[in-house]
Structure 1
Amino acid sequence: MSFSKWIGAALGWSFGGPIGAIIGMALGGIMDAFSDKDAEPFFKQGQQGRTYRSRMSRPQTRSGDFEVSLLILSSIVIKADGKQDQRELDFVRQQFLHMYGKERANHAFKLFKNVNKQQIPVRQVCLQIRQMMDHPSRLQLLHFLFGIAKADGHVTEEEVKQIYTISNYLGISSRDYESIKAMFYNSSDNAYKILEISKDATVSEIKAAYRKMAKKYHPDRVIHLGKEHHEGAEEKFRQVQQAYEQLQKEKRF
């Protein structure tokens, strides 16, 4: 698949708004290399995206919209501490290779290089994602961003602050934020944080919390994003199961 056809297929609701402006600027130099005929799929998709958004307040998030949102937010987190660690860049690339395959990942990184050169309006981008993307998909984005921050073996205070800011703008509650954050740290109370309960929770409260979180993080909640995102969703679900099993051993029930 050529780059012009890939980008045409990748953009849905993310073609418009601040994300569309960022992608448009990133595409500037790239699209110059194409003929008008090559570029036609991209512009045709963009027109369809504008019409679709006007008909629905929150269309179902497609894999391409998630992918573009992920690229932009990844750039924000990678630059949060004032430097771009190669391990973080490699993590993003490896994740894209694993999820999308070599050709699609190469297209994504061609775009990412130009996105990464821009000053991104964090609040505006996140508010667009919040408006157009469903809650389970936003939780999946947050999980991925913590993975990027942890890729170099150390999550800096600046990265945590940036992810927290992004999380707030995305409309993710502090409890959900702490739950996903706890999946990337080792501490004695992680199991409680993942299940969003206090340390003095009763056995019945632990069981109820597990059922609630298992439902919230179940991979089927993001099945609409495509099979390429299934493994990441399974990892969150697995962490909930492990947290519950840990508390079962500690409480002996």
Structure 2
Amino acid sequence: MAIFSTLSALLQSIPAAGRTTVEAVIEAIRSLFAGDRETRRKVAFSVAIIALSAKMAKADGVVSQAEVAAFRQILEIPPEEMRNVFRLYDIAKQDIAGFDAYAARLRALCEDENGNCQLLGDVLDALFHIAKADGVIHEGELAFIEEVASIFGLDRRAFERLRDRHIAGPDNPFAVLGLPSDATAAEARKQYLSLVKENHPDRLAARGVPDEFMFIASERMKAINAAYSKIAKRQAA
């Protein structure tokens, strides 16, 4: 898994002396991969998942085994790279800088890529996946994700659609597709096809989501397909 060997190179480029900060990691990404835009995007995404997961765990105060398992589902970490990934996790968890400062730096790094910040939505999806792994999204976790979304520049309506897909989705298939409950069959199909196109693996790869992290995309598509199937059956009845 190439992205994890790249993370290893990133960590090796950071001086070991003193306490390493997320700021130092961000600057290392910018300088180490200055001539390779695609790798820079993928590494930034990877570090975002790792560091913000750590910050969310600290904000909530409790890290359950289910959340750790969800974290590892997203990353699919090879055994030989486990140490490097959790070194990044610990750097973020111990860094005195707040998550807001890191999220702002990540957005700025993303905006350097000609404003292509769609991958930040994938980061938020991953955070929701981890937060709900123990069966409930706690108030502190939801507040954390909402603040990160705001810093990323996600508008209120878009955040509510994302939130509803994860929280209300199992009971409200319309929420998964971002539709009102009175949407027509034609509207539901149009929205469904749009979401399928938007979440095609080629689209995700183009915006910097590494192959190793396609688990989130797969879970999103499962939810979209299941929701549309429920809506179609209801409307056909």
**Shorter-normalised TM-score: what interval?**
0.7 to 0.9
TM-score normalised according to structure 1 size: 0.72
Give the C-alpha shift of residue 188 in structure 1. Answer: 7.1
1:227 equivalent among 201, 211, 216 = 211
What does the per-residue CA deviation read over 1:172-193, in whole Å, with 9 as the maximum and x for residues that have no partner? 2334433333343356763111
Paired position in structure 2 for 1:207: 189
C-alpha separation in 2, matches of 1:11 and 1:203: 54
1:130 aligns with 2:107: yes
Give the C-alpha shift of residue 21 in structure 1. Answer: 4.5
3-state secondary structure, aligned to 1:247: helix
Give the C-alpha shift of residue 163 in structure 1. Answer: 0.6
Identity %: 24
Alpha carbons 1:123, 1:166 under 8 Å: kept: yes
Paired position in structure 1 for 2:233: 249
Q: Supply the AA of the counterpart residue of 1:160.
A: L
- Return 5+ residue gaps in structure 2 as ranges: 14-19, 111-115
Alpha carbons 1:76, 1:120 under 8 Å: kept: no
Alpha carbons 1:88, 1:152 under 8 Å: kept: yes
The structure whose Rg is larger is 1
Compare relative contact order (CA 8 Å, sep 6+) and give the higher one, 1 or 2.
2
3-state secondary structure, aligned to 1:198: coil
1:168 aligns with 2:150: yes
1:8 aligns with 2:9: yes
Residue-pair matches, total: 221
Deviates more, 1:127-136 or 1:158-167: 127-136
Paired position in structure 2 for 1:33: none
The ranges of structure 1 where at least 4 consecutive aligned residues each deviate by more than 6 angstroms after the TM superposition are none
TM-score normalised according to structure 2 size: 0.77
- Return 5+ residue gaps in structure 1 as ranges: 13-19, 26-41, 54-58
1:146 aligns with 2:128: yes
C-alpha separation in 2, matches of 1:238 and 1:47: 38
C-alpha separation in 2, matches of 1:180 and 1:5: 30
Give the C-alpha shift of residue 164 in structure 1. Answer: 0.9
Give the C-alpha shift of residue 78 in structure 1. Answer: 1.1
C-alpha separation in 2, matches of 1:248 and 1:72: 39
C-alpha separation in 2, matches of 1:197 and 1:220: 25
